[in-house]
Structures are given as structure tokens and as C-alpha cells.
Structure 1
Amino acid sequence: MQQATFRLAGGNAYAAATADTDARMRLWCNDHCDLLDVRGEGADGVLEAVDADVGVRERVDEGDTTLAVTDACLRAESDGVEDTLAAHGCLLVPPLTYADGEKHLRVLALAPESLTAVYHDLRADYDVTVADKQTVSAPQSAAPGESAPDLTARQAAVLRAAVESGYYDRPRETTTAALAERFGLARSTLEEHLRRAEGKVARAALQR
């Protein structure tokens, strides 16, 4: 089986709620309502936006994680993504993820041509980025509230670049100054993204 992660810029109320924040939201649809797992700085603002657009029936705060149940299912305002997947025999792997103003879809297909067809159809309505593509034996999901390194797109990119460039090797093969130049960021900003990413990965590892 083939699995790809597509990032769709813009879109529905949930994607818009995460724009300009460091928060990340995962969603499980239950037809009549949605279950949300929201983490990161700006989570309260994200939930306020969701409450204004969809309604939040109940929320539970546990440390840096908030679980919330919405008044209605956002599928009622579907942007047609699910229909596009169905047209090409592809499956959506839950949960949906929203971060940086984007909707992240993990899509499963039996053949790579199906993923290619989905990509081209989505491009007609969205600015689409393929964040990941791989062959899998079984899709992997995550339960609500489960500890996981929910990195923002920028944090993930910075951490990946640091690993691939040898920042964690001994001796180090790169510096934060070099990484900052690569991303066009100030060194202090790059180091802050890296510090936050490291912290999330460490906390997730310790809670497993």
C-alpha cells in the first residue's frame, strides 16, 4: 500500500483557526460531532475560533493538551476532499490534522497512480504540498490524548534538517547559524524552533 500526507493551504474553519499560531489540532469525525485534540501555544485562541464557527459542547484541559467535543460535525461544511479520495479509491487515515493554517491529510492507496490522481485533483482547488510519501504495510493512527511529538511544519522541517545535516553527530557537522541561514531565519529564531521541537519529542518519549 502507498501512503502520502498532503498539506492543503486554506480551507475550512479548523484550518483557519490554526493560522498564525503554534497550535496543532487533530480531529476524529463522529458524523454528528467532532472530537478535537489541541496542543501548543495558541490552543485557547484556536478553540475560541472553533467555538465561534462550529460550537464547542465540552472541553477537558489536561496539561498542555485540550480535548474538546464540538456541537456539530464540520463534515456538514465539507470542502469535497472526501469525495475526491473516494473517486480514486483512496482512504483517509484518521485523525485529520490542522496546523499553520493548513489541513493535513494522510491518504492510503493500493497503487501510487491513485495518489498521483488525487494530488492533481486537489491542486484544482488548493495549494497542495506533498509532505511525505511512503510504502506501508499498515496505516498508523493515534488515539485522542495520546502522547506524540506534535510538531508544527516549521519545527519538523528544522529538526529534520538538523538531523540530516549532522547537528546531533559527534563531532557536530553543522551549526545553528548555518541552519538559520538555510531557512532564512535569525539564529535565535531557528534555535527557538529547534528547542521547542526537541522538547516535544522528549516529552512524548518519556510519556510512552
Structure 2
Amino acid sequence: MNEFLNQFTFSIKDITLYIEITAAIIGSIYFYKYKNSYLRYFLIFLWYVVVNELIGKYIADVLTHDNLIYYNVYLFINFLFLFSVYWHFLNRKKYKKIVIYFSLTYAIFFILNGIFIENYYSNLVSIPFIIGSCFLIITIIFYFVEILNSERVLFMTRYLLFWISVGVLLFNIGIIPWLIFRKYFFETYEANFEWMNILSLSLSLILNISYIIGFICSYKVEKQQP
């Protein structure tokens, strides 16, 4: 059973990588739709994710070294970039201020955690990951609240950021239990860890499929945006 789970996990890892590459390629094909919006930087972010995954895979599989530092740096960039995206698209000043506080709090805690608590070369960042996920969930709720209280609600499924938000929201809601399990219950329930890995990889699949749907189904942004 364990051998089956190990093989299944490796298969999902490969599928996840292929889906990430597919999302970046489709994002490039449909770049004309959002090149005039702030989301043009999202394409750069997607390709960074792909390159980071390939480097991490090479280091782990070929060089057989720890690659956690690359994923920890990715998480730091991931949260700060997404906070910047929502700060740009949110309209209410109150929400924008809160997102700035979230960004600063996350960045400070990430740095202090790396100095005093967790070694980012040998441990996957945990507590800052949970904090960042909670902050991001709240931020996305702000975005949905603004959409539901505007005319955009009639066409919300035609906005790229809507689909990005759906994917990111589902991923972060699902990943928090995985992080808590990994941090506090791993030694007690180590036999179930492969199932939890399958959960996290499945969440990554959902995330990237949501991106792909957004690229294909979204409106083209005509007006030049800063």
C-alpha cells in the first residue's frame, strides 16, 4: 500500500509540474487579453514558478540535495506578489490599508521566523505559510465583497482575476490543514503523510486549472492600466 501511495504521489507531482507549465504556456498565448492590466506581471510570476519547480526538481532528483530553500523563497515571493495584485485591484482605501498591513506583517514574521525559529535550508516554512494563507483568504474575501457590491457581479466569471482568486482561495483554504498536520502531528501520524501530500498536490492542480480557465474565458482588457 505504501509503495502504491509513493508511486501515486510521484505521478501527481509530475502531473502538477506539467499543469504548471501548461498554465504558463496558455497564459502566454492569451497574454494579449491582459497585457494592458496589472495582471501582465502575473505571467512573469507563472514562469518563475515553472523555473523554480524545475530547479528544485533537478536539485532533489539529480544532485540529491535539499531544495527546500528554493520553495521557501518562492513562498515569500508568492504571498507578497499576490498581496500587491489585490492591493492594485481593490477600490476601498480601508481594504488597501489592511492589505499593506498584511504584507508588512507577513514579511517581518517570515524574516524573524527564519532567523530565530526555522532553518529555511532544511525545513519547509510552516507558521509564516499559515499566517500568509489566512491573510490571503481575508484579502480575497475583500475582493469578492467588492465584486458582489458592484455591476461587475453580472460578468464576474469573465474576469481573469476572478478565476485566479477562486484557485488561490481554494488552495489556501485546503493547504492550512495540511500545514498544521505537517507541523504538529507528523510524528504521530507519519503513516498518513502520503495522503496529505496527495491532498496538497491535488490543490496545486486545482489552482493551475483555475488559472487556465481564467486565461481562456476572460475578457480582453482594452484600456491601458498602470
Q: What is the TM-score when the length of structure 2 is the normalising length?
A: 0.28
More helix by share: 2
Q: TM-score, normalised by structure 1?
A: 0.30
Higher strand proportion, which one?
1
**Bigger RCO (CA 8 Å, 6+ sep):** 2
